[in-house]
Amino acid sequence: MTVCGDLAGARPVFYTPWAGGTAYATAALPLADLIEANLDFGHLAALLAAPDVPAAVHDSTPYDGVRRIPPGHALILRAGAREIAGYEPVASLAVAAPPADPGRAVDAVRDALIDAVRARLAAPRHVPDVDPGPVPGMGPAERRAARGMPVPGIGADLSGGPASGTLVLLAAGLPGRPGTVLGHGTGAGERLLAVTFNDLAVGGREAELERAGTLAANPRLHHVVVAGGEEMLPYADLDGPLTDEPGPSLVTAARHRARLASGSADHFTGYGARQVLDAHPARLADLLMDRKRRHLVRPVAALAKADGSVMVPARVYGAARKLARTPYRTGVDGLADRLMRRRFEEPGGAVGASLAALTWARPGPAARWLTGEALAEVSVRLQGATGRPGVGPGQRPGDFRARAALTRHAADLRVLEQAAEIRFQRLHAPFLDNQVVRACRALPEALRVQPGARAAILRTVLEGAGVADLPPGWGAPSHASSAVAARTGLRVAVDSLVALFDTPLLAEAGLVEARVVRKAVRAAAQGEPVPLDGLADLVSLELWLRRLLARRGTCWTGTPARQRAVPAGIAPQGRALGAASS
């Protein structure tokens, strides 16, 4: 029996030894209930200290004894034996891969995206248009919304960015599919529902909203704008369901739920486009390893223009050259040493972020607030990864870092799907499909690293699909980042967040000190340069722990004698640091 996970990690497979064999599932919590697993505090510490480093997280889960199959691997069960094997071809060290043709690579991305969209449009609809009955003063759409049910049919996000816009135009433009103009062809009258979120509390996205409105003027689309005030800011509403695992999207789940509530039963999202198409800064080292220095000119020039310093090219080139000559094992050992010595200083700005990313492994944004014991435990995990294969043969640092970032993003998307779930609604992320991920990985690195590469690739994809009249400025980067909304939401909810960390479970587990976290929350609310991503990691993990310990019952029925997972609550024991020191 072979059980396959996906390449991105959005549809993982978990397993645990049980009853002399192996139990596997698509969720970790049922398996944790099955074996009455306690919390794996080493994994929780690694999620905060080094979430993007596979050597730290490895195949563990928040539940002790429950393991995760890595992306691109399969669980093989044969005659009681268990084996985990990769199903993707491995690059040869003896024969160099032929140089990829940029035109053919982009055509492959176009074909993969069209097939992914077409497969979903051709699938049977799983939500019947059932109206439970009249309510005085309410129409059918109002009754459906009041009962929390999505609109039947096909819908998509339309933020004004290139990823969601590409999916909307592809889905609406396929012949004979939803998006057909009333009275023409099959499925007549069924228009694609395009949902745009307008953040009234934080400005700066006016240009994107204008582009979304221009795209939505297409008669194949029905445009819905969801306006959100302060009540939809990050951290504003921290109530929600228990998810299988923790993830930073828990602090923004209510914001996404409000948008998805106006969506369709089958809803397209552009999640993952940035991770599969954009170039991780570490890919500059890959170009140096391939002796393609001339392709570094444009991305380095763009960084120099953003920074305004003539020293940028030398600094970036030196960091990329150093990474190209650094073995993977040395990079992981360097991270372990940084955690032990509590060295978290990193240069600021766009250039500083690129320089910090030019490494095999780096600390997470929340690592600075962890206790010395938690950091030492993660350091021990990193040093214990020596015997495990770190990277495959021929793996480059840029490709390795890009895959790790995609895995992290896909895992957080899975958390978001569970936290912001609308009953009877299915979310679709075509950019995370296996065939799309494969096609995007075949794109030449020289094409990826150029400024504006993602928008240019998606523009070419649309032109190949017959869509050419795009609004002016389509694909332009947004200057209003999500950090503005996060800081605004944190400032509005500072009192509730400080109260959340009065007696946190994270402190009871020995991962943080409550006083340190409260101080960081107040500093961020006052506008000090505090890593907001790190605070989101801390708040979301604290919320997840509270929901896990507050739940009643178990995932299994008919077994009154079986306890649920984490029966002893927060009781750290068998820590890796203690085992190492003894």
In this structure, are 282 and 382 located in the same domain?
yes
CA distance linking residue 143 with residue 140, whole number of Å:
5
Domain final residue pick, 356, 387, 406: 406
pLDDT score of 9: 94
Select from 106, 108, 72, 83 the least CA-distant residue to 22. Answer: 83
Query: How does residue 560 score in pLDDT terms, banded at 50, 70 and 90?
Result: low
CA dihedral 453, 459, 464, 466 (to 10 degrees): 180
Measured in degrees and rounded to the nearest 5, phi and psi for residue 225 equal -110, 125
Residue whose token pair is 């034996």: 81
Q: Is residue 352 in some structural domain?
A: yes
Q: 201, 488 in Cβ contact below 8 A?
A: yes
* Residue range of the domain that includes 285: 277-406
Domain final residue pick, 379, 406, 433: 406
In this structure, are 300 and 385 located in the same domain?
yes
Average pLDDT score over residue span 445-471:
90
Condensed to tens digits (0 to 9), the pLDDT of residues 55-77 reads 999 899 999 999 999 999 999 99
Cα 402 from chain centre: 12
Helix, coil or strand: residue 273: helix
Condensed to tens digits (0 to 9), the pLDDT of residues 370-419 reads 999 999 999 999 988 765 655 655 678 999 999 999 999 999 999 999 99
In this structure, are 399 and 490 located in the same domain?
no
Which parts of 412-493 are beta strand (E)?
426-428
Pull the structure tokens for residue 86: 């990769």
**Cα atoms in the 13 Å half-sphere on the side-chain side of 192:** 32
Q: 413, 10 in Cβ contact below 8 A?
A: yes
Residue whose token pair is 């923790």: 246
CA distance linking residue 98 with residue 114, whole number of Å:
26
> Is the pLDDT confidence value at 98 over 50?
yes
Select from 106, 276, 266 the least CA-distant residue to 171. Answer: 266
pLDDT score of 467: 86
Q: Is residue 543 in some structural domain?
A: yes
CB atoms within 10 A of CB 239: 8
Plot region of 22 (φ>0 → left; ψ -120 to 50 → alpha; else → beta):
beta
Q: 155, 192 in Cβ contact below 8 A?
A: yes
More confident: 454 or 125: 454
Average pLDDT score over residue span 254-271:
91
Condensed to tens digits (0 to 9), the pLDDT of residues 153-210 reads 889 999 888 999 999 999 887 765 555 544 444 444 468 899 999 988 887 788 888 9
Q: Is residue 451 in some structural domain?
A: no
> Is the pLDDT confidence value at 350 over 80?
no
In this structure, are 402 and 486 located in the same domain?
no
pLDDT score of 129: 55
pLDDT score of 153: 81
Q: Is residue 76 in some structural domain?
A: no
pLDDT score of 183: 45
Average pLDDT score over residue span 21-25:
94
Q: Is residue 455 in some structural domain?
A: no
In this structure, are 386 and 489 located in the same domain?
no
Measured in degrees and rounded to the nearest 5, phi and psi for residue 180 equal -70, 135
Q: Is residue 489 in some structural domain?
A: yes
CB atoms within 10 A of CB 131: 11
Per the structure, the count of domains in the chain is 2
> Is the pLDDT confidence value at 425 over 60?
yes
Mean pLDDT of the chain: 86
In this structure, are 281 and 402 located in the same domain?
yes
pLDDT score of 347: 72
pLDDT score of 176: 53
Q: 200, 174 in Cβ contact below 8 A?
A: no
Select from 465, 414, 444, 479 the least CA-distant residue to 272. Answer: 414
Query: How does residue 146 score in pLDDT terms, banded at 50, 70 and 90?
Result: low
pLDDT score of 388: 61
In this structure, are 394 and 489 located in the same domain?
no
Helices 102-122 and 162-173: angle between axes, nearest 10 degrees: 60
pLDDT score of 96: 56
In this structure, are 283 and 401 located in the same domain?
yes
Residues 6+ apart with CB under 8 A from 559: none
Domain final residue pick, 383, 406, 429: 406
In this structure, are 283 and 372 located in the same domain?
yes
In this structure, are 512 and 400 located in the same domain?
no
Q: Is residue 400 in some structural domain?
A: yes
Q: Is residue 311 in some structural domain?
A: yes
Tell me the H-state helices in 189-252.
Answer: 206-216
Query: How does residue 95 score in pLDDT terms, banded at 50, 70 and 90?
Result: low
Select from 427, 415, 406, 412 the least CA-distant residue to 71. Answer: 406
> Is the pLDDT confidence value at 125 over 70?
no
Check residue 385 and report its DSSP letter: G
